[in-house]
Amino acid sequence: MDRMSVTEEFAGIQLPGHLHTPESLRYAQDFQFKEGDVVIVTYPKSGTTWMQEILTLIYSQGDPEIATTVPNWERTPWLEHIYFKDLLKEGEGPRIITTHLPSEVLAPALQDTKAKVIYIARNPKDVAVSYYYFHKMAKFLPEVGSFPEFLQLFLEGKVHYGSWFDHVKGWHRQKKNLDFFYITYEDLQKDLRRSIKKVCGFLGCPMYTEEVDKVEQHCRFSVMSQNAMVNYTLIPREILNHDQSKFMRKGIVGDWKEHMNHEQSEAFDEIFREKMSDCDLKFVWSLD
């Protein structure tokens, strides 16, 4: 498998060389967005796949045909990945593009266009847990030690894709400069139907009640975790080892409580308060 242990350095962050090259990253930075493009932006493990599925189903008016026959990386490709050029299709609907890149790299190009940006954030304690398990299964990410060791690296921003804090704050700062819609993983969890309707409103895609019913039905965790087009079971185990962890792992809010003790959680809160002191975003840590 290609470049499994290669790390690319770009814009001050590290990225897996299996998916990124200097050329693919330059291509992403110079990409010409256009009116009608819809760009899903996330820090890893924040609900990217969920939003890819929601958008696919909104644009198919709830018809699951595409969602159940075309892998998500083909219908909503990653801008910075090696395969992007080959996968991006000029079809009838909008181009749905996914990215984990930081705002410093993409916001300048996006500001000049009328592309729509959907940013999904997730509370960082759950991101850290989900990311830890993803490291266990993804052979293109560095080997991780224990969860406390990983947590330390995560809080210091020394993991692939960089600091969660910088990513969220950087993109949120761009909200006035872009056609920007911000939503959280926890919003999707609390009220999926309402969230779908809000996304429809942002996209200017009115839907009939029965269509919203279908989108909601197909975007449930229980359905998506069985859909091979989104649960990553199509990827060979040399790249993603599903014996280590599932991609659709738990899909809940507050799993961090099973992984962090009181001291770790307090230390996390302290760093969160300090790093987010210049940002008014609020996060939901549990749905209890």
Chain contacts with ligand A3P (rule: CB under 6 A): 42, 44-50, 126, 130, 133, 219-221, 224, 248-251, 255
Q: What are phi and psi of 83, to 5 degrees?
A: -85, 0
Q: State how far the Cα of 253 lies from the Cα of 261, in Å rounded to an integer.
A: 17
100 is an active site residue: yes
Contact 61, 120 (CB under 8 A): no
Q: Which entry of 18, 20, 81, 100 is annotated as an active-site residue?
A: 100
Cα three-residue angle 10-156-118, rounded to 5 degrees: 60
Separation of CA 208 from chain center: 27
- Sheet with 179-184: list strands edge to edge: 96-99, 38-42, 116-121, 179-184
- The H helix count followed by the E strand count for the chain is 14, 6
Q: How far is the CB of 71 from ligand A3P (least distance, A)?
A: 13
Nearer to ligand A3P by Cβ, of 59 and 133: the residue is: 133
Q: State how far the Cα of 131 lies from the Cα of 151, in Å rounded to an integer.
A: 10
Residue closest to ligand A3P, measured at CB: 251
CA distances from 43 to 49, 65, 167, 175 (A): 12, 28, 7, 16
Nearer to ligand A3P by Cβ, of 26 and 194: the residue is: 194
E strand residue ranges, the chain: 7-10, 13-16, 38-42, 96-99, 116-121, 179-184
- 96 in helix, strand or coil? strand
Query: Would you call 100 exposed, middle or buried from its count of C-beta atoms within 10 A (0-12, 13-18, 19+)?
Result: buried
Nearer to ligand A3P by Cβ, of 113 and 157: the residue is: 157
Nearer to ligand A3P by Cβ, of 45 and 116: the residue is: 45
Residues catalogued as catalytic: 100
